[in-house]
Structure 1
Amino acid sequence: MTTQTQQNYFNLHTTGIGYLNDIRKVTPKKGNPFLACRVSALTGDASNPEYRFFDCNIVGGEAEKLIERCMNAVNEERKVLISFVLSDLWTDTYIVSKDSKHHKKGDTAVSLKARLIRVKMIKIDGEVKYVEQVRKSEQPSSDAKTKESVSEDKGSF
């Protein structure tokens, strides 16, 4: 008889809506290359929102495909709004290297970091380009409307 040990995890997930910026491929000195981006999450009163900025590593095949498809639109400085799920939030402190509107050189600053694990919706310049299929476990009824998954389409938006 064999015994298997199942590992248990505590998951901290953050959901929101925000603008996608600075999509890039990161190649570390040690480790594998990965896709990263910055999400400017909207918070507060919808008529006068504030932003929270998250530097994200994109994790998971579907999320990577979707973010890669947004790269051209982001590079063209179009407004790319996403509904997202982040996990494993953490902070990183750094010393500011030059004066800016928010910090002076030498100040200690904080960066919010997370893993972007899921994209639920993408709008580019106000036009819906993608809506995630409702998962069977989340589907409220059998007549829920869904759009096609993006998995098979490899082009950009």
Structure 2
Amino acid sequence: MTQTTTTPSYFDMTTRVVGYFNRLRVVQGKGKKQPDYLALDFSALNGSSDEPEYRRFNLTVKGAKAKELVEQLIKEFGDSKDTKIFGSVEIGDFYADYWIANKGTPEEEIKSVLKGRLLKVHTIKVDGQQYYDAKTADSQDKTPAASTEDVKPSETDETDSASQTEAA
């Protein structure tokens, strides 16, 4: 009897938005089982460019490149309120939640928030200057085509070896 293993499949709801990165931080995990993780608030723009509305997302950073970029932003800019970080990102599996502002005071108020996972960063501009662009970064990350120096001698035929010897 053969045993087959199936990979579980998932439905991943994603959306691509533009907006501002806020409150980039490392969150301390609770207890020994939950490790520290990266999180941020993202203010996504919606509506007319003349009078945009903002949709607030509380995001946990999950994508590998996204983690690298957020760590880099934290190191370079910290919690600087003067720095405007604008970008295009891909958010997955978001859902509505709430939190209580001014808890325990007469001004206590219930606020809504969208929570989700930051999967991918497409672009980042810091104070209007290009900081990261996935299109140009992808082309720079690709390794050049393999040369004959990278090929094992057993994989080359005699004519290639002869032409290399003559060229030397």
For normalisation by structure 2, the TM-score amounts to 0.72
- What is aligned with 1:78? 83
- What is aligned with 1:27? 28
Distance 1:40 1:13 in 2: 16
- Code of the residue aligned with 1:148 in structure 2: it is Q
Q: Is 1:49 matched up with 2:52?
A: yes
Q: Is 1:130 matched up with 2:135?
A: no
User: What do residues 15-64 of structure 1 show as CA deviations (whole Å, max 9, x unaligned)?
Assistant: 11111110110012231100001111111111221111111100122101
Structure 2 unaligned spans of 5+: 142-168
SS at match of 1:28: coil
SS at match of 1:55: strand
Distance 1:148 1:20 in 2: 25
Q: Confirm or deny: 8 A CA contact 1:41 1:53 kept in the other structure.
A: yes
| Structure (1/2) with the larger helix percentage | 2
Cα distance, 1:107 vs. partner?
Answer: 2.7
Distance 2:7 2:46 in 1: 38
- What is aligned with 1:152? none
- What is aligned with 2:122? 120
Distance 1:66 1:91 in 2: 26
Q: Confirm or deny: 8 A CA contact 1:90 1:112 kept in the other structure.
A: yes
Q: 1:90 aligns with which of 85, 89, 95?
A: 95
Distance 1:112 1:57 in 2: 11
Distance 1:122 1:147 in 2: 17
Q: Using a 3 Å threshold, how does the CA distance of structure 1 residues 15 and 107 change in structure 2: closer, same or farther?
A: same
Structure 1 unaligned spans of 5+: 135-144, 150-157
For normalisation by structure 1, the TM-score amounts to 0.76
Percent sequence identity over aligned pairs: 31
Q: Confirm or deny: 8 A CA contact 2:98 2:110 kept in the other structure.
A: yes
Q: Is 1:63 matched up with 2:90?
A: no
Distance 1:9 1:36 in 2: 23
Q: Confirm or deny: 8 A CA contact 1:38 1:54 kept in the other structure.
A: yes
Q: Confirm or deny: 8 A CA contact 1:131 1:147 kept in the other structure.
A: no
Larger radius of gyration between Structure 1 and Structure 2: 2
